[in-house]
Amino acid sequence: MSTPRPPQPAKLVVGFLLRDKKLLPVLAAALEDRFGPVALVSPWMPFGYTDYYETEMGAPLFRRVLAFRDMVGQDGLARIKRATNAIEQAHMMEGRRRVNIDPGYLLLERFVLATGKNYSHRIYIGEGIYAELTLVFERGAFRPLPWTYPDYADRPLRDFLQRVRDQYAGDLKRESPGGRGRENG
């Protein structure tokens, strides 16, 4: 029999797909107000994997990913996705999104993204939101799965997530009972 235990906290990771790079500081500030400071920022990456978003958002599109300092509960992913959807809606112009925001969380063994779209490999987590296992960590690296979005499967984004994972491992060590733990004050 398995014994239920609380899950480990996760590292919040949020991806942005947008055309107007100047919009990112406003979006990041809105998320920092809600989830705390950003710890790591990916380089800008051109997004040429699909033209799916171009009709709504224009071209060229760029991807940037932020990892937040504070950890979050895994059970909060649906709430986080609803918050990022609200930010997307608040920045719409003439009924079109100017940004697509992809929140997810990272653990030592996996990277999970939230979505509002159901599919065979996605698990419903409440509030109209599904979780997708996007990458698994094995043999020392994040590995894509057959359904992983091409930009998340590509080396630059996986390399960034490796940096996030390294920071997360250090965070867990500091938070563990055997580690130094959080400083009071």
Distance CA 59, CA 77 (A): 29
pLDDT at residue 156, as a whole number: 96
So what's the pLDDT on residue 25?
97
Determine how many CB atoms are found less than 10 A away from the CB of residue 155.
9
| Residue partners of 95: CB distance under 8 A and separation at least 6 | none
Instruction: Please compute, for residue 88, the number of CA atoms within 13 A of its CA located in the half-sphere on the CB side.
Output: 21
> Which pLDDT belongs to residue 185?
29
Domains defined along the chain, listed by start: 10-174 (3.30.70)
* Per-residue model confidence (pLDDT) at position 180: 43
- Please choose, from the candidates 88, 79, 25, the residue with its C-alpha nearest in 3D space to the C-alpha of residue 53: 88
Supply the DSSP symbol for 147: T
Q: Which tokens in the block code for residue 81?
A: 């996705």
pLDDT per position in the chain (185 positions), as tens? 999 999 999 999 999 999 999 999 999 999 999 999 999 999 999 999 999 999 999 999 999 999 999 999 999 999 999 999 999 999 999 999 999 999 999 999 999 999 999 999 999 999 999 999 999 999 999 999 999 999 999 999 999 999 999 999 999 999 876 554 433 22
